[in-house]
Amino acid sequence: MSSPLQTRIASYTFNGIDYRIQSLLDRNQFFDPEGNAEALDISPSLWPLFGMIWPSGLMLADIMSREDITGLNILELGCGLGIASMIINARGGKVLATDYHPNAEEFLEENSRLNGLDDTPFLRCDWRAQQENMGRFDLIIGSDLLYEPDHPERLALFISQHANENTTIIIVDPKRKLQNKFRKRMENLGYSVSSEQSNEKDFSAFGFKGVVFRFSKNQSQ
């Protein structure tokens, strides 16, 4: 069955390099003929969110276009379109993109193809379940992940399961109400945190208004 989804392709520049990104045309898009999303409790209103361009995602992508990723094993959580993971791939980094949405992988594959890249590794995963074969990572990243009441706890525990003693965690958040709960939970798990507010640095190129958190294991504990 051919897909009736309407999409668009736009160009975005990260650290001086142009990337072509395919996204859904708008939030009215929906296509779940086999009920895969319904089986995962993804409602029609939530279905298109993975495929939209969000300022937080662009901000994370820009960070990853500049971050030192030499020799790092990187995990992206809730990748959506996977722009940050694709940029890591383009820079020769080792990355695993993950998302809960059943259509995220095909958009990541298409965006990798549009930019002349080999497929960016992807795994569909659920924070509620153990992912024993994923292993641990040196850098864990994500953007706009805290929009359900149980997400701070689930995200913090999932990160702790896949972080090593020297892991850095970068979370870009558009000042959602749950960010403080997540920050406190990470601190309780032994992580120190630094943050950078959008009003402290010029993030205006992507329309981002929020905070960038960096967590690292508190070696004194």
Q: What is the chain's pLDDT, residue by residue, as a tens digit (221 residues)?
A: 567 999 999 999 999 999 999 999 999 999 999 999 999 999 999 999 999 999 999 999 999 999 999 999 999 999 999 999 999 999 999 999 999 999 999 999 999 999 999 999 999 998 877 787 889 999 999 999 998 899 999 999 999 999 999 999 999 999 999 999 999 999 999 999 999 987 766 666 788 999 999 999 866 54
Q: The domain that contains 157 carries what CATH number?
A: 3.40.50.150
- Asked if residue 151 belongs to a domain, the reply is yes
Question: What type of residue is 217?
Answer: K
**Total structural domains in the chain?**
1
Nearest residue to 201 (alpha-carbon basis) of 187, 212, 215:
212
Residue of 8, 14, 172, 171 whose CA lies nearest to 90: 14
Q: Is residue 1 part of a domain?
A: no
Stated pTM of the model: 0.95
Cβ-contact 98, 78 below 8 angstroms:
yes
205 lies in a domain?
A: yes
Whether 171 is covered by a domain: the verdict is: yes
Burial track 7-26 (b if 16+ CB lie within 10 A, e otherwise) = eeeeebebeeeebebbbbee
Write out the residue range of the structural domain in which residue 83 sits: 7-217
Q: Which amino acid is at 205?
A: A
Residue 56 lies in a domain: yes
Tell whether 2 is covered by a domain. Answer: no
Question: Do 208 and 55 form a contact (C-beta atoms < 8 A)?
Answer: yes
Residue 161 falls within a domain, yes or no? yes
Residue 170 in any domain: the answer is yes
Residue in 86, 80, 79 with CA at minimum distance from that of residue 112 = 86
